[in-house]
Homo-oligomer: A and B are copies of this chain.
Amino acid sequence: MTAPRPLLPHLRTRLPLLGGSDRKIAEVVLRQPQDVVFWSVRELADAAGTAKSSVVRFCQGSGLRGFHDLKLILAQETALARESDPLAHDPAGDVLGAVVRAGAETLRDAAATVQRSAFDATAGLLARADAVLVVGGGGSGPLAQDAAQRLRVIGVRAAAPADAPGQHVAAALLSRGDACLAISHRGATAGTLEAVAAAADAGAATAAITSFAGSPLTGLADHVLVAGARAASPRLAALTSRLAHVAVLDALLVAVALRDERRAAAALARADAALAAHRR
C-alpha cells in the first residue's frame, strides 16, 4: 500500500472514519501540518495525547513507511498550500484574490479526492437513466436545483423539487432504470437521507456528492463522490465545499454530455432557442 497523494485532502475526507488515537493524530496533523514538519515522533504523540507507537501505526496505516515520510509529504504539501490562506494575514486586503486562490486549491483537491471509478459509474448512471431526481436541502438546495436544470439542458430528464416532502414523494415514485443524485455537505441532512432511502426502495440507482467519507449518506448511496472537505481558513470553510461540489457537477455534466454528444447538442440548441425569447 502506498499513501494517497496529496495526503492532507484524503485525511480530511476520511476523518469521520478514523477512531481512537488515529483520529486524534489526524486532527493534529490537519490542524498544524506546518508545525508537524519540524516535530519529533514524541512531540506529535504528546500533542495528540497518544503513545509514540500509535504515531508509527498511524503513519503505516496511512500507507507510509514511517514518520519521516509523513514529515516529507507534509513539507511538500504545506509549501504548495502556503499561498491559499492569505486571509489570515491580510484580513482587509485582497479578499477577491484570496478567495479565488483558495477556490483554485479546493478544485485541485476535488480532482484528487473523488474516486475515478465512482465518478465514471455516476456519469454512466445519469447518462442512461430514464429520469434523474436530484435532492438536497439547506445550502445544497440551490445546488440541486442548478444540477437538475443543467442536466435538462443536455437532454437528461431531471427534476429537483425544492422541499423535503416533495423530494421524498418524487423519490418514492421513481422506478428501476431511474437515478437519484443527492448533494449534501455533511451527508447527514434528514430529508436528503429519507429521499435517497426511498429512491433505493423504489429500485432506482443512487449517487451522492458530499464533503466527507463515512457519513450516513455515504453508507446509503450506491456511488459516492467525496470532495470539498478543505477548510484552509475557518472564514472560508463554508464556501470551499460548495465550489468543489459545483466543479464536480460541472465535470459530471461534461462526462454525461460526452456519452451522447448528439442528444446533448440537440437539447442545448432547443434550450438556447427558448432562452433567446427572454433576451433583449
Q: Which A residues have a C-beta under 8 Å from some C-beta of B? A: 87, 91-92, 94-101, 103-104, 107-108, 110-111, 114, 116, 119, 123, 137-139, 141-143, 145-146, 149-150, 153, 186, 188-191, 193, 216, 235-236, 238-239, 242-243, 246-248, 250-251, 253-255, 257-258, 268, 275, 278-280
Given contacts A145-B145, A191-B278, A280-B216, A100 and B96 within 8 Å (CB-CB): no
* Interchain residue pairs with CB less than 8 A apart (8): A94-B116, A99-B254, A100-B247, A100-B251, A142-B146, A143-B146, A239-B253, A246-B246
A104 to chain B, nearest CB (A): 4
Contact A242 B246 (CB under 8 A): yes
A253 CB contacts on chain B under 8 angstroms: 239
State the oligomeric state as a number of copies: 2
Contact A99:B188 (CB < 8 A) given known A142-B143, A142-B145, A280-B216: no
Contact A236 B254, beta carbon cutoff 8 Å: yes
| Cα–Cα, bound, A209→B244 (Å) | 20
Among candidates B238, B251, B275, residue contacting A99 with C-beta atoms closer than 8 Å: B251
Contacts of A238 in B (CB 8 A): 150, 153, 268
Given A153-B238, A243-B246: A108 and B119 interface contact (C-beta under 8 Å):
no
